[in-house]
Amino acid sequence: MFDYVEFFASQLDDLRGRGGYRTFLEVERLAGSFPAALKHGPGPGRRIRVWCSNDYLGMGQHPLVLEAMKRAVDESGAGSGGSRNISGNHRYHVELERELADLHGMESALVFPTGYAANDAALTVLASRLPGCVVLSDELNHASMIAGIRHSGAEKLIFRHNDMEHLEELLAGTDPAVPKIVALESVYSMESDVAPLARVAELARNYGAFTYLDEVHAVGMYGPRGAGKAAELGLQGRFDVVQGTLAKAFGAAGGYIAGPASVVDAVRSFASAFIFTTSLPPAVTAGALAAVRHLKRSEKERSQLREKATLLHTLLRELGIPVVSDDAHIVPVLIGDSRACREVADELLERHGFYVQPINAPSVPPGTERLRVTPTPQHEDGEIVAFADALDDIWRRADLPRRLSVEPVA
Which H or E run includes 206? Answer: helix 197-206
Is the dihedral angle over the CA atoms 218, 224, 225, 230 positive or is it negative? negative
Q: How far apart are CA 334 and CA 234, in angstroms?
A: 32
Residues in the chain: 410
Q: How far apart are CA 387 and CA 119, in angstroms?
A: 35
Which H or E run includes 259? Answer: strand 255-259
Edge-first strand order for the sheet with 354-355 is: 27-29, 36-39, 46-50, 354-355
Q: How far apart are CA 27 and CA 49, in angstroms?
A: 10
Nearest alpha-carbon partner for 181 in 217, 130, 232: 130
Amino acid at 173: G
In 132-185, beta strands by DSSP E: 134-138, 155-159, 180-185
Based on the residue annotation, tell me whether 296 is a catalytic residue of this protein.
no
> Which position among 180, 229, 248, 308 bears the catalytic label?
248
Backbone angles phi, psi at 125, to 5 degrees: -70, -50
**Residue 149 near residue 127, CB atoms below 8 Å:** yes
Q: How far apart are CA 274 and CA 88, in angstroms?
A: 12
Which amino acids are annotated catalytic?
248
